[in-house]
Structures are given as C-alpha cells and as structure tokens.
Structure 1
Amino acid sequence: MSALSVRQVRFRYLALYALRWLPAGLTIPVMILLMQERGLSLSQIGLVATAQGLVVLALELPTGGFADALGRKPVLVTAWVVCLVSLALFAVADSFWLFALVWALQGIYRALDSGPLESWYVDATLAADPKAEYERGLGWAGSVAGIAIGAGALLGGGLVALGPIGPVSALTLPVLVAIALQAVSLVALTGLLVEERPAKGRAALRTSVVEAPRMVGQALGLLRRNRVLLALVAVELFWGFGMVTFESLLPVRLAEVVGGADRAAALLGPAGSAAWLANAAGAALTPLLLRRLGAAPAAALLRVLQGGTVVGMGLLAGPVGVLIAYLACYTVHGASNPLHMGLLHRQVDGPYRTSVLSLNSMMAQPAGALGAVVLTVVADRSSVSTAMLVGAVVLALAAPLYLPAWRANRAATGAPDAAAPDAPETTGTSTPVVATGPDGSLAGPAPVPAAPVDAATGTATRSD
C-alpha cells in the first residue's frame, strides 16, 4: 500500500466505490416491489427486513475490529462474496423465510462491508502523504456513488420496461444483471485493493481473532470518553429510522400515485437515476458548505431540510410532485453524508478507525430495522403518507446532535469550524481527541510509507 501515491489511492478507492454501488442501483428500485409481487405484504416485508438489522447489530463491532486487526482486503472480499450469494438467493426466493434469509445474508454483508473500504482510503492516503486532505475524496465518493447508483437505476428501469423474458418477470431482470455486476466487482476488488499486513495465513487469522475484541474495546472506550463522537454516532439512530421513508416506502407511494407496481418500477428507473445524480450533485456541494457554514451547522441544517423533503413525498399529489420531492431528498442526502463522515473521521486516528465507523453504522441498522417494522405497520393500518410524515419528523430530530461538534470546534479554534476545516474536532480542550493504544499512549496517525501500515481500509455507508 505504501508504494501508491495519493492520486493512485484516490483513483482505486473511487473505482471500487463505483463498483460497490452499481449492483445496488439495479436492485434498490425493485426490491420492495419484487417482494410484493411474490406475495409478501408490507408488514411482512418490514419483518423480513429486520433480519438485516439484527444481524448487523450482532456482527458490526466484531467485524469492524476484525478488519482493523486482520486487514481490510480479506474482510471486504468475504463481504462481497456474501453479497453475491444473497443476490443469487433473492433472484429465486418466493417465501417469507427465504426472503428473511436473503436479508440476514445482507446483514452479514453490510456488517463486513461497513468501514473497511473507506478506512483503507483514509489510512492509505495518510500513509502516502500525512498532510493530505482526505475529505475531498470522501466528497467525490458520494458523487461517484450517486452516479453509479443512478446508472444502475436507469439500467434497471430499462430492463423492467422490456417486460418479462420467458419465465423471468420484469422485476426479476435487474436482479440477474446485478448478480453479474457483483461478480465483476469482486474480481476488481482482488486486483485494485492492496495493503501491507504484518502477517498472513493461519497466524494472522489467529492473531486477528485475539486482537478484534481489544480493538472493539478501545473503540467503545473512545465513545465513552468523547461526547462529540457519542453525539455523532447517535445521529444514526434517527437517520436509520427515517431513511426507511425514501428507501422502502417511496416505491409504494409512487405505485399508489400512478396506479400500479410495474408502472411505478418503470418510472423509478429513470427517476432513481436522476435522484442519484442529484445525490452526486449534493455531495459535490461539500466544499462550499464547509466554507460557508462549517461542517456541523451545515449537517444539522441538512437534517431538517431532508425531513421537509420527505413531507413533500408524503403529501404532494401526483407523480410529478412526489418525484420532485424525491429528487430534493437525495440532493440533501448526498450533501449530508460526506459532512457527517468527515466529522466522524476527525474524532479518531490510528488502527481503530474501522471499529469506530462500525459503531456509527451499527446504530443505523437496528434503527432501520425498527423503522421498517413501525413505518410499514403504520402504512398498512393508516396510509403510506402518514408513515412518511412520522419518518420525516424523526429525521429532523437528529439536527441538535451536531451541536457538540460545533461547540467543541469553536472552543478549540475560537472561530466557526468553516475557518479551519482541517483541524481535529475536540471535546472542548486544546488536545485533539484521538484513539489510545492498549497502554494508554496515543495511537496517532497512520505511519509514513517507510513503516508498515497498521491496516488499510476503504462505506461506505449508507445512502440509503
């Protein structure tokens, strides 16, 4: 990994990030509608989706510590293989329990996939140049993900519009293409992601199993000591619950408006493509928002704005109004994610980065599972619009949780956080908040290229 330049690291990160999200773009618009087509009610869909959240809750932290201890590449390869298996099963699933198994496998995939690629990018960038700015790459990753998901959604919509091919239904076609793309992504991952690991083989595996709990313990200790980090991670509880509205309920809402699932799926292809392009545009606004408002104030404002866009999706009449609100929602979504992740990265250095990212992601998954159950029950018993309004309120309630980061930065710099975007966030003192090693010493940033790098990673996420 140390032989790569900053530009090479960024290129590989963005290429792998695009490949990671392209298959998702194909399946996101049709996933809920396909399960409905195969006989599941909205309440049943909400229940099977909880399998993912429960599995992630159980595995998120152990897999994050495992990635920090063993290395990011083997964990990512395993994750992408599990994703491939889950997509293959999803293509043929036709019962509640098979779909529950699909979502459980997706939970394993997301637990393994959460954090390693992004952490590899940050650590590899700092290994190539300790003074390099990685926020720009994180913002570009949001744009790349938006373009990749948009392209996948557009392709998926085109496949649905082609209609059934033989025994394969129109809604199943995008899933089959996603399987092929996931296989291509897996091959690319093995070639593009390189890292230096202190040991390989059985010795490395045994060591990582022993080290993973310690990594998790250090990450939890950091969370207990750092009120800024605690508040940032808590944002995911509200975000995970509220994201159900535009990730799962929007297709159902659109089907209500246009009068049919197939028509909605055909519209969601180009609409989803446009939405993720809007997401990419929103991510590109990150530097401007940092300069004008600062990371924490901008992130708080965007949470409130996103709640407003969900209200629009739930209340506006006709497909045009619903889709305009949908595009606005994803523009805000794209702008908010790099800001949140940048604030999070500023709270930790050294070998615990993936574990902290896993903590962040772990909060979103059970919250999303709870949202899937609660909001689908509300939708069944009342209306989809009412469920979306509930989710919108929860999304907006996350805004005040960015205040500790804003106050801490002002206390440390004596100026708004836009004035010093590269300064680490603090807990209100002049000492940066970083992870500590087992002996209490500061872990510090990743080593310079001449020394072995602790572990290389590279989130991903959520857009969800």
Structure 2
Amino acid sequence: MATLSVHQVRHRYLILLGLRWLPVGLLVPVFVLLMQERGLTLAEIGMAFAAQGVLVLALELPTAGLADAVGRRPVLVLAAVVNLASVALFVVADSFALLVAVWALQGVYRALDSGPLESWFVDSTLAADPEAEYERGLSQGGTAVGVAMAAGALLSGGLVAFGPVGPFSALTMPIVAIVVLQVVGLVALLALLRERRPTAGSSALRESIAEAPRMIGQAMGLLRRSRVLLALLSVELFWGFGMVTFEALLPVRLAEVLGDADRAGALLGPATMVAWLANAGGAAATPLLTRRLGAAPAAALLRIAQGVTVVGMALLAGPVGVLVAFVVCYVVHGASNPLHMGLVHRQVDGPYRTSVVSLNSMVSMPAGAAGGIVLGLVADRAGVSVAMLVGAVVLVIAAPLYLPAWRASRDGSPAPVGAPTAAASPEPPEPATQPDTSAPVSGQPGVPPARDGDPTTGAGAARR
C-alpha cells in the first residue's frame, strides 16, 4: 500500500471530520426539545444523558488502548456502526428507558470514536513527512467541524420548519436525516481511511488486544509524571460540566423566552448555523491568539470569556440578546478547543497519543453527565437562568489550571512525556523519551519545536 502524502492525509481527515460532525449539527438544536416532547423533565433528561458519561468513563481508556493496539480504522468502523444503531433507536424511542438506552449507546460510540481519527491524522502526517507541522491540519479541522456543524444546524432548522411527515413529528425529522447521513459517513470511512499496520492473523490480533491494558497503564503513568498534562486534563472537569449550559440548557432558555418549543426549535437551526460558523472563525483565529498571547494564557482568558457569554445567555432579555450571547459563546468555544488540544498533544509523544486524547475526553464526559443532572435539577427547581449562572461560574474556575502549561513554556522545558513503543505500533519505534514533570514538546523526532508564539492548535471540537 502506497504511503499517502501530507496533502492526501489532510484532505481525507477533513472530509471524514466533516462527515462525522454534520449529523451532530442536526442533533444539537433539537435533542433536548425532542426529549421534552416525549414527556421527560429536565432532570430526567439529565439522568438519561448521564448514561453516556458513565459508559464513556468505563470504556474510554479500554477503547483507546484497543485503537493504539489493533488500529484506528477498525475501531472507527465499529464506532460508526454503534452510532447508527443509537440514532435509529432515537427515531422511535418514546420512553425514559429507551432514551437511556439511546444515550448509553452514544456513550459506547463516543468512547470508541474519541481520539482515533485525530491520532491517525497526526501519525499519518508524520509518517509522510517527519518534519511536517500537523498543527495546520488540526486548525483546519477545527474550522471544518464548525462549518459541518453549521450546515447540519441549518438543515435541522429547515426540517423542523418543514413540519411533521407521516409518523414523524417536526422535531423528529432531523433524527431521521441523521440516520441517512450516518450510512454515508460509514461508507466514506471504509473508502478513505487507510492505515499501515503489520499483517495480523487471529493470534496476532489477540496479542494486540492483550497489549491494550499495558498501553492504558503507560498512558495513565504520563499523568503521574507530568504536572502540565494533569492540569490540562483537570480543565476538562470544569469545562465538561459548564458546557451543559449552552449545549443543553440554551434551547430550553430560548423556548422560555419565546413561549413556544417548536418555534424555538425552528429558530435554533439558523442560529446554531451562525454559531458554528462563528466557531469555525474562532478556530481559524487561534494562530493569531498564540502569536499575541501564547497558547496557555490565551486558553485561560477564553475560559473566563466563555463564562461571561453564558451569563449573557442567562440574563439578557429577549431572543435577540440570548442568541447574540450564544453566537459569541461559540466564537470563544471554537478558539478554545484548538488551543487546549494543541497543548495536550504537545505533552505526549510515542504510540500513546490516542490514549492521552481519550483521557482528556474521558474526564469531560462524566463531568458533562454530572452537569446535566445537577444543572437540570437546579433548572427544574430554581429556573433555567439560575442553572446557567452556576454553569458560568464553573467554566471560569478552570482558567487557573492553564498556569502550569504557561510556566513550562516560559521555562523552556525540554521534552514531552512518552513511553516505549508497543510491538503493535503502526510506525517504527521511536526513541523513548525520559519522564518529565512539566514539559511541552521541544526538539522531539517528528514533532515541531514548541515556542510560545507557535500556533498550538488542534481539533478539540471532535470530543465536544
């Protein structure tokens, strides 16, 4: 199999990333309103959604270790099949138990999907050119996610406005469209994602699977050796909790302001489209932010800014004020994701990249589940605005956790944490790096030097 060029890898990565997030764009504006239409309270929606977080917590690291051991392609294919089953069930799920099952399957999917595509892109880029700066592709990935989400949201709003068709309500129509798009995405994944791995029979496959727990343990060991990585992953605890405000509570807040859930659902389509285009613009602006401020200081300031935008959503009167704050929130979100994931990627080298990316996602998903339950209860008892204010405070609390990464960049720490390459690694073994307590990447084989002014960008929206 011929090696793909850097351009080919980037092109395929952006196509697959867009197809992965286009269906999410259809889902985000309507999923809470649809669950309310089917009789669930906000607290029950939070509990159903928590099933996703619990499954991610249980499976994130095993599936990441499996992807590092047996390959990213088979794990991504399995993820796509599970997601298709989940969305198909969502079309007909009309009870609390079935909706819990929907989100439990989503948890399995998110655990399988978190990390392999991004890791495939980074490793395939470096295999094509060890001197390539993969940050450019990761930044473009953030923009692609924003555009795909925007297109999906616009389509979602159009389908809701079009109205019910046959047995499907207006709010169910976007879910039906997602089923079709998931089939298209699965076909594209099988056609475009190529991975160079050793030829493996059944015994070699069993050995690779058995290798997964060791790779997980090595990835966990990175947290003990790197204060920077530990702090960055801790950011996700607060970020995951606070994101419930604009991912789940904003549609309810808008319906409250408008006094009509269907009208809110139709309006959220174009509004979310604008928000995700703004998100893409924020992602594209990350190189400028890193040149002016440095990656870690910019990331910290954006955590504070996002909290302020959530306060605006909670307190501004009228739909225009709420939606303006919503759009600005997504500008900040789009810039934050690449900065954060760039900082995470620069703390790890070797074959454990997927496991570390999944560790980052693992802590955010249970935090989001907790946020759904806690903020849902607060919303039911004290009002949606109060719940959003609580979430805003939690978002701001994460800002100081970027200080270790900022200090490390100023100190010029020499190397990322890493571990010896596993036998089943897709690329030839790299020299092992020494444990490091606070190190960004600098001077490692195949990784660009870390400078505070460099655009440390990533596709962190893939875990949102």
User: Which TM-score applies when normalising by structure 2?
Assistant: 0.92
- Return the offset for 1:131: 1.1
Instruction: State how far apart, in whole Å, the 2-side matches of 1:280 and 1:328 are.
Output: 12
Q: Which residue of 1 aligns with 2:284?
A: 284
Structure 2 stretches lacking a partner, 5+ long? 423-429, 434-443, 448-457
Q: Which residue of 1 aligns with 2:432?
A: 442
Q: Is 2:144 the partner of 1:144?
A: yes
1:322 corresponds to which letter in structure 2? V
List per-residue Cα deviations over 1:12-70 (Å, max 9, x = no partner).
Answer: 00010000000111111110100100111111000001100000000001111110000
Instruction: State how far apart, in whole Å, the 2-side matches of 1:293 and 1:389 are.
Output: 28
Kept after mapping to 2: 8 A contact 1:307/1:392:
yes
1:106 corresponds to which letter in structure 2? Q
Q: Which moved more, 1:391-400 or 1:437-446?
A: 437-446
RMSD: 1.7
Kept after mapping to 2: 8 A contact 1:249/1:384:
yes
Kept after mapping to 1: 8 A contact 2:334/2:461:
no
List per-residue Cα deviations over 1:270-289 (Å, max 9, x = no partner).
Answer: 00100000000000001101
- Return the offset for 1:137: 1.1
Instruction: State how far apart, in whole Å, the 1-side matches of 2:177 and 2:77 are.
Output: 20
- Return the offset for 1:317: 0.5
Query: Quick one: structure 1 residues 245 and 463, their matched pair in 2 at CA, closer, same or farther if it must change by over 3 Å?
Result: farther
Query: Quick one: structure 1 residues 441 and 4, their matched pair in 2 at CA, closer, same or farther if it must change by over 3 Å?
Result: closer
- What SS does structure 2 have at the residue aligned with 1:310? helix
Q: Which residue of 1 aligns with 2:452?
A: none
Kept after mapping to 2: 8 A contact 1:117/1:460:
no
List per-residue Cα deviations over 1:390-409 (Å, max 9, x = no partner).
Answer: 00010011111111001011
- What SS does structure 2 have at the residue aligned with 1:164? coil
- What SS does structure 1 have at the residue aligned with 2:211? helix
- What SS does structure 1 have at the residue aligned with 2:351? helix
- What SS does structure 2 have at the residue aligned with 1:350? coil
Q: Which residue of 2 aligns with 1:64?
A: 64
- What SS does structure 2 have at the residue aligned with 1:17? helix
Q: Is 2:181 the partner of 1:191?
A: no
Instruction: State how far apart, in whole Å, the 2-side matches of 1:128 and 1:275 are.
Output: 35
Q: Which residue of 2 aligns with 1:33?
A: 33
What is the 5 A alignment of 1:380-459?
380-412=380-412, 426=413, 431-437=414-420, 442=432, 445=445
Q: Which residue of 2 aligns with 1:266?
A: 266
- Return the offset for 1:463: 6.4
User: Which TM-score applies when normalising by structure 1?
Assistant: 0.92
Aligned identity (percent) is 69
Q: Which residue of 2 aligns with 1:415?
A: none
Kept after mapping to 2: 8 A contact 1:50/1:370:
yes
- Return the offset for 1:134: 1.1
1:229 corresponds to which letter in structure 2? L
Q: Which residue of 2 aligns with 1:162?
A: 162
Q: Is 2:318 the partner of 1:322?
A: no
1:73 corresponds to which letter in structure 2? R
Q: Which residue of 1 aligns with 2:12?
A: 12
Q: Which residue of 2 aligns with 1:257?
A: 257
Moved over 6 A (4+): 438-441
Instruction: State how far apart, in whole Å, the 2-side matches of 1:438 and 1:23 are.
Output: 36
Kept after mapping to 2: 8 A contact 1:349/1:446:
no
- Return the offset for 1:446: 6.5
List per-residue Cα deviations over 1:401-432 (Å, max 9, x = no partner).
Answer: 111001011001xxxxxxxxxxxxx4xxxx30
- Return the offset for 1:2: 6.4
- Return the offset for 1:441: 6.2
Instruction: State how far apart, in whole Å, the 2-side matches of 1:445 and 1:349 are.
Output: 9
List per-residue Cα deviations over 1:251-287 (Å, max 9, x = no partner).
Answer: 0000001111100000000001000000000000011
What is the 5 A alignment of 1:34-183?
34-183=34-183
Q: Which residue of 2 aligns with 1:243?
A: 243
2:250 corresponds to which letter in structure 1? L
Q: Which residue of 1 aligns with 2:351?
A: 351
Instruction: State how far apart, in whole Å, the 2-side matches of 1:27 and 1:341 are.
Output: 24
Q: Which residue of 2 aligns with 1:452?
A: none
- Return the offset for 1:199: 3.0
Instruction: State how far apart, in whole Å, the 2-side matches of 1:276 and 1:295 are.
Output: 22
- What SS does structure 1 have at the residue aligned with 2:352? helix
Kept after mapping to 1: 8 A contact 2:132/2:446:
no
Instruction: State how far apart, in whole Å, the 1-side matches of 2:381 and 2:388 are.
Output: 13
Kept after mapping to 2: 8 A contact 1:157/1:270:
yes
Instruction: State how far apart, in whole Å, the 2-side matches of 1:438 and 1:184 are.
Output: 35
Instruction: State how far apart, in whole Å, the 2-side matches of 1:167 and 1:104 are.
Output: 25
Instruction: State how far apart, in whole Å, the 2-side matches of 1:234 and 1:94 are.
Output: 36
- Return the offset for 1:86: 0.2
2:179 corresponds to which letter in structure 1? I
Number of aligned residues: 437
Structure 1 stretches lacking a partner, 5+ long? 413-425, 448-457
Instruction: State how far apart, in whole Å, the 2-side matches of 1:225 and 1:112 are.
Output: 26
- Return the offset for 1:168: 1.1
1:166 corresponds to which letter in structure 2? G
Q: Which residue of 2 aligns with 1:418?
A: none
Query: Quick one: structure 1 residues 445 and 176, their matched pair in 2 at CA, closer, same or farther if it must change by over 3 Å?
Result: farther
- What SS does structure 2 have at the residue aligned with 1:245? helix
- What SS does structure 2 have at the residue aligned with 1:351? coil
